Amino acid sequence: MIGNIESVRKEFARALEQATTREQLEQVRIKYLARNGLVAELFEHMKSLPADQKPQAGKLLNSLKVEVQQAFEEKRNLMEGEGAKNDTLDRTMPGRPRPLGSKHPITQTIDEIRQIFRSMGFSSAYGPEIETDHYNFEALNFPPDHPARDMQDTFFLSPSKSVLLRTHTSPVQIRTMEGQRPPVREIMPGRVYRNEAVSARSLVSFHQVEGLYVDTGVTFSDLKGTLVAFARQFYGKDVRYKFRPTFFPFTEPSADMYISCFLCKGKGCRMCKQNGWLEILGSGMVHPHLFRNVGYDPEKYSGFAFGMGIERIASLRYGVDDIRMFYENDVRFLNQF
Ligand code: PHE
């Protein structure tokens, strides 16, 4: 008898759980709770038990009856009564997407530049943003009172002006060469600082990617070939380019690289200030003085270096006419990248 009660309890629980429609629920009611259902049948059966077993069986049976009724009512309420009306949870609705952040456009641009140079065998190197006069200027062949120093609008950190915020990533060239023997094939991304008035075209803190290639027999054609390959991958196969002589203390000869304006295809527009060309980087053959400063033999080795401003490159590429926008962290701007 006790075994029967327990199995009815279990069967009922399972049947109730599986009932998902009104009809199924009604079937469960008829089978277990109706006047001639299984619970009633058990009560009937109890009458024929010996007198000494009746109290225990009766107690169990009563609790089964209460339990079954309660569970049934609860389920019915949930399916059609108050419970169903108050249940505003629609389990068939798709989940709400959680907004995911993305990489900053400047980081994306650096990643892309690194990726292109990695495919040409360059790895990445980094240096400190707080530099000494030695690495930022002296070892790069800026003599102490050379006017080129003034052009760099330096933030000095010590009264003697020997500690400063680096004005370019070129000091990493020196640190890299000090740390290894040729061949050297590195690009060096990082943040740089200049004490300039902030405007749509200049910031006090921005990013550069430096490049350095040193080996035996490196020529100016290697410089051109590498930079043209880069420009074609970054700006598109048909990009037109030109190199124009310029001056840097740490390269000789030196050249600025220009590409044809991709907005107007060289016809002249506000982006290229009507002249059809955009300056994208500075470059040149590493000056022999630098090799002497780091203990490389300039008779044996030659190399080229280049440096580009990331905010500038990114603003040209995406047509952003005010580079301050990169740092306002307005998601309406950032979401577009
Ligand atoms: N350091 C130079 C600048 O900041 C760029 C440069 C790097 C030029 C390497 C030549 C070689 O303008």
Residues 75 and 123 placed together within one structural domain of the fold: no
Q: Is 154 in the pocket of ligand 1 (CB under 6 A)?
A: no
Q: Is 304 in the pocket of ligand 1 (CB under 6 A)?
A: no
Strands (E), the chain: 123-124, 130-132, 163-165, 184-193, 205-215, 241-248, 251-260, 277-286, 302-309
Atom 5 (ligand 1) nearest CA = 307
Question: 3-class SS at 285?
Answer: strand
Kindly indicate the confidence band of residue 220, based on its pLDDT and cuts at 50, 70 and 90: very high
The better pLDDT of the pair 21, 245 is held by 245
Ramachandran category for residue 65: left, alpha or beta (phi over 0 → left; psi -120 to 50 → alpha): alpha
Residues 56 and 189 placed together within one structural domain of the fold: no
Residue 317: domain span:
105-334
Final residue of a structural domain among 52, 85, 118: 85
The better pLDDT of the pair 319, 297 is held by 297
The answer, yes or no, to whether residue 82 has pLDDT greater than 60, is no
User: Nearest-CA neighbor of 174 among 136, 120, 118?
Assistant: 136
Q: Which of 85-89, 102-106, 206-210, 252-256 has the lowest mean pLDDT?
A: 85-89
CA of 184 to the centre of ligand 1 (A): 17
The better pLDDT of the pair 61, 214 is held by 214
99 within a domain of the structure (yes/no) = no
Across the range 29-34, mean pLDDT stands at 86
**Number of domains composing the chain:** 2
The answer, yes or no, to whether residue 305 has pLDDT greater than 70, is yes
- In ligand 1, the atom with minimum distance to the C-alpha of 192 is 4
CA of 259 to the centre of ligand 1 (A): 17
CA of 15 to the centre of ligand 1 (A): 79
Mutate-to-test residue for ligand 1 from 154, 167, 170, 173, highest number of ligand atoms within 8 A of CB: 170
The answer, yes or no, to whether residue 271 has pLDDT greater than 80, is no
Cα separation, 282 vs 173, whole angstroms: 14
Supply the pLDDT for residue 183. Answer: 96
Residues 243 and 284 placed together within one structural domain of the fold: yes
98 within a domain of the structure (yes/no) = no
Residues 114 and 242 placed together within one structural domain of the fold: yes
Atom 10 (ligand 1) nearest CA = 283
Q: Which residues contact 87 (CB under 8 A, 6 or more apart)?
A: 78
Supply the pLDDT for residue 328. Answer: 93
- For the chain, the average pLDDT equals 90
Mutate-to-test residue for ligand 1 from 152, 188, 248, 285, highest number of ligand atoms within 8 A of CB: 248
Kindly indicate the confidence band of residue 295, based on its pLDDT and cuts at 50, 70 and 90: very high
Kindly indicate the confidence band of residue 307, based on its pLDDT and cuts at 50, 70 and 90: very high
Q: Is 149 in the pocket of ligand 1 (CB under 6 A)?
A: no
Atom 9 (ligand 1) nearest CA = 306
Across the range 122-135, mean pLDDT stands at 97
Supply the pLDDT for residue 90. Answer: 79
Residues 52 and 121 placed together within one structural domain of the fold: no
Residues 42 and 174 placed together within one structural domain of the fold: no
Q: Is 306 in the pocket of ligand 1 (CB under 6 A)?
A: yes
Kindly indicate the confidence band of residue 101, based on its pLDDT and cuts at 50, 70 and 90: confident
94 within a domain of the structure (yes/no) = no
CA of 282 to the centre of ligand 1 (A): 5
Kindly indicate the confidence band of residue 115, based on its pLDDT and cuts at 50, 70 and 90: very high
The answer, yes or no, to whether residue 86 has pLDDT greater than 80, is no
pLDDT in tens, 65-77: 888 888 888 888 8
CA of 127 to the centre of ligand 1 (A): 15
- CATH value at residue 127: 3.30.930.10
pTM attached to this predicted model: 0.72
Cα separation, 216 vs 302, whole angstroms: 6
64 within a domain of the structure (yes/no) = yes
Residues 198 and 299 placed together within one structural domain of the fold: yes
